[in-house]
Chain A
Amino acid sequence: MIRKILFISCFMIFKNMVTGQTYNTTAIIFNFNFNQSPFQLKKEYITDAGESIQVYKMKFYISGLTGVTVRGDTLALSKEHFLIDVADSSSQLIKVQAPQLQYLFFTIGVDSLKNTSGIQNGVLDPSRGMFWTWNSGYIMAKLEGVSSQANTAGNRFTHDVGGFRSPFNSTRKIRLLIPQNKINNTSVYIEVNLAKWFSGKYPILLKEQPICHTPSLLAMQLADNFVTSFTTSEN
């Protein structure tokens, strides 16, 4: 046992001495807007289809953060899952160690293995309210609120997008080109336009589809819409 401890300690010291990371810290920052006006929870917005909405909750998972350097090398930036929550600004900043990047890739949603291997911890803890208990699997992204057009109790609409099995796999890949106009780029600003949730690819009317809480065609369409919400900015 002592030998084991000695070994591990040695190993750790030498690992740090030899492989000391030399990359800069890059901050990945998510900003939310609704067709270019700054986004706030509970504020009223009008969708592209002319429906009025107030959003109470907006959260989504991302995973598989990967960068492509200006030299063209692909680099895994993090193995972690992140839960980005509009209500929690600290969740909107992710710090990674990376050289200057040209592209940023990530997946919206949770790795399929994590959907099938029991209870996870941290941001993947089912107590975070992003897990379907009766049909095991994560909610990849959710947008909930009220709309006078939603014909439901309290005019509430609930768009919970999930499902990890084909044909209703709701994870989506995002590829973003990072503007290279600044020297020593250490921040990547990602703009998320939530208006696109309802109109990015498929027009979704709250009058007709106020509820999504199964892996379904509607979930697939919302996921396809959400992909179009993401752009980078030069801030």
Chain B
Amino acid sequence: MPNKKIHILFLLLVICTAWITTDRFAFKPKPVKFEIPKGWPQPVYDFTKNPLTQEGILLGKTIFYDPQISKDGTISCGSCHQQFGAFNTYDHTLSHGLENMLTTRNAPALFNLAWQKEFMWDGGINHLDLQFLAPLTAHNEMGETIDQVITKMKASPQYKKMFKAAFGDEIISTERIGKALSQFLLTLVSSNSKYDKVKRGEANFNLPESLGYEIFKQKCINCHTEPLFTDFSYRDIGIPEDTYLKDKGRMKITGLSTDSLKFRVPSLRNVAISFPYGHDGRFYSLMNVFEHYRRNMVVTKNTDPVLQNKLPLSNYEIGQLKAFLGTLTDSVFLQDNRFAPPGINDGKPPIDNHQ
């Protein structure tokens, strides 16, 4: 009776399947909807591969602020990416990593990463989930291996619980760490500056701000494009190479001499508080940046066509531009408790104890 045999086999399979899947049924993380601010383009991050959940975001934030993941337990992502500086390294040209070794670039502010396709000043990293591997394993940043981090996390009952809540079981893997960190990083959306409120019709620019906006639209917008204030391209704005750092920028990734000294156009959101500026932090103030554009540029054949005659700016224009750039500061973002380190939530800069 082959028919009977099939039936029994069939029943067994059904029972097995049900048994295997019950664990999955119990797994119901709370979905979080990713809001796209009005008038913004579609994000490039593929949320279908890593849907945001409360549990995933919380896990990501916990990892972001956990110094235990570095080799000697002293450096977290949050050590170099500080909320009051829009997640840059506040007031530091280069950042301090393990044993006070310096990074070779200025830590960029972190926000609106869902719209970014490539990461780092040279665009060398092609997916947000992968990004953490670079600081984690760099000897002058966190100096740790992935295997070690996973071992440390596996030894922690709290992490096991959090991974289960976020992903359905206690498996801790490179992929899950990357996805959890991405979930937290993706929630860092800055879209509540005065500029945004003006655009939404909730506020008005004062006179210097609106004059500054007009100048900005004439002189800056082809690179610092609205609404993200960057077009994500790589350009040479005539910053001469630092003879010690010898950083070739985009050329390091593509190997093309035409990409020498090109760096990604940074967003100017929160720019008033994310000093110092430039890929190696050489500009201490906005005034230094303006001086660069109008006087100090070293124009070469790689320098952007738009800037072949430098970028003339009068003192008057600089004043108005500064007023406008001030409207890009998003204090709601800078003080949002959801992003603050666990336990600290006033969003104020700490007393800086660096020499």
- Is B124 touching A5 in the complex (CB atoms < 8 A)? no
Does B9 touch A at the CB level, under 8 Å? yes
Does A183 touch B at the CB level, under 8 Å? no
The residues of B that contact A133 with a CB separation of less than 8 Å are 125, 130, 133-134, 136-138
- Is A134 touching B124 in the complex (CB atoms < 8 A)? yes
The residues of B that contact A13 with a CB separation of less than 8 Å are 6, 9-10, 13
Query: Which chain A residues in 1-26 approach chain B with CB under 8 Å?
Result: 5-6, 8-10, 12-13
Residue pairs across A and B with Cβ atoms less than 8 A apart, 21 shown, are A5-B14, A5-B18, A9-B13, A9-B14, A10-B10, A13-B9, A118-B49, A118-B129, A119-B127, A121-B174, A121-B175, A126-B133, A126-B146, A126-B174, A133-B133, A133-B134, A133-B137, A134-B124, A134-B134, A135-B125, A135-B252
- Is B17 touching A9 in the complex (CB atoms < 8 A)? yes
CA distance A136 to B122 in the complex (A): 12
From A8, A121, A127, A214, residue with most partner B Cβ within 10 Å: A127
Minimum distance in angstroms from B75 CB to a CB of chain A: 16
Contact of A136 among B126, B147, B150 (CB under 8 A): B126
Minimum distance in angstroms from A76 CB to a CB of chain B: 25
- Is B174 touching A127 in the complex (CB atoms < 8 A)? yes
The residues of A that contact B134 with a CB separation of less than 8 Å are 133-134
CA distance A136 to B134 in the complex (A): 9
- Is B127 touching A136 in the complex (CB atoms < 8 A)? yes
CA distance A125 to B150 in the complex (A): 13
With A8-B17, A9-B14 as known contacts, state yes or no: A119 contacts B129, CB within 8 Å: yes
The residues of A that contact B174 with a CB separation of less than 8 Å are 119, 121, 125-127
- Is A118 touching B178 in the complex (CB atoms < 8 A)? yes
Does B253 touch A at the CB level, under 8 Å? yes
Does A168 touch B at the CB level, under 8 Å? yes
Minimum distance in angstroms from B47 CB to a CB of chain A: 12
Query: Which chain B residues in 100-138 approach chain A with CB under 8 Å?
Result: 120, 124-130, 133-134, 136-138
Query: Which chain A residues in 205-235 approach chain B with CB under 8 Å?
Result: 214-216
Closest 10 CB pairs of A and B: A127-B146, A133-B133, A118-B129, A119-B175, A136-B126, A9-B13, A135-B124, A133-B134, A118-B127, A119-B178
Does A32 touch B at the CB level, under 8 Å? no
- Is A134 touching B127 in the complex (CB atoms < 8 A)? no
CA distance A27 to B255 in the complex (A): 40
Minimum distance in angstroms from B151 CB to a CB of chain A: 11
What is the 8 Å Cβ interface bit string for chain B, positions 301-312, against chain A (1 contact, 0 not)? 000000000000
CA distance A120 to B178 in the complex (A): 10
Please name the residue on chain B nearest to A12 by beta carbon: B13
Contact of A116 among B6, B17, B126, B252 (CB under 8 A): B126
Query: Which chain A residues in 124-159 approach chain B with CB under 8 Å?
Result: 125-127, 131, 133-137
CA distance A115 to B173 in the complex (A): 18
Does B21 touch A at the CB level, under 8 Å? yes
Does A117 touch B at the CB level, under 8 Å? yes
Minimum distance in angstroms from A200 CB to a CB of chain B: 23
What is the 8 Å Cβ interface bit string for chain B, positions 167-206, against chain A (1 contact, 0 not)? 0000001110011000000000000000000000000000
Minimum distance in angstroms from A111 CB to a CB of chain B: 14
Supply 4 further A-B pairs (C-beta < 8 A) apart from A119-B129, A120-B175.
A13-B9, A118-B175, A127-B147, A136-B124
Query: Which chain B residues in 126-171 approach chain A with CB under 8 Å?
Result: 126-130, 133-134, 136-138, 145-147, 150
CA distance A120 to B129 in the complex (A): 10
Please name the residue on chain A nearest to B134 by beta carbon: A133
The residues of B that contact A9 with a CB separation of less than 8 Å are 10, 13-14, 17
CA distance A119 to B146 in the complex (A): 13
- Is A135 touching B253 in the complex (CB atoms < 8 A)? yes
The residues of B that contact A168 with a CB separation of less than 8 Å are 255
CA distance A116 to B130 in the complex (A): 10
Minimum distance in angstroms from A134 CB to a CB of chain B: 5
With A118-B49, A118-B178 as known contacts, state yes or no: A134 contacts B146, CB within 8 Å: no
Contact of A5 among B21, B49, B126, B253 (CB under 8 A): B21
CA distance A13 to B17 in the complex (A): 13
Contact of A119 among B14, B18, B130 (CB under 8 A): B130
CA distance A136 to B127 in the complex (A): 8
Minimum distance in angstroms from A42 CB to a CB of chain B: 23
Minimum distance in angstroms from A175 CB to a CB of chain B: 29
The residues of A that contact B146 with a CB separation of less than 8 Å are 126-127
With A125-B175, A136-B125 as known contacts, state yes or no: A5 contacts B130, CB within 8 Å: no
CA distance A221 to B136 in the complex (A): 31
The residues of B that contact A135 with a CB separation of less than 8 Å are 124-125, 252-253
Please name the residue on chain A nearest to B145 by beta carbon: A127
What is the 8 Å Cβ interface bit string for chain A, positions 103-125, against chain B (1 contact, 0 not)? 00000000000011111110001
The residues of B that contact A12 with a CB separation of less than 8 Å are 13
CA distance A6 to B17 in the complex (A): 9
CA distance A126 to B131 in the complex (A): 12
Contact of B127 among A8, A116, A125 (CB under 8 A): A116
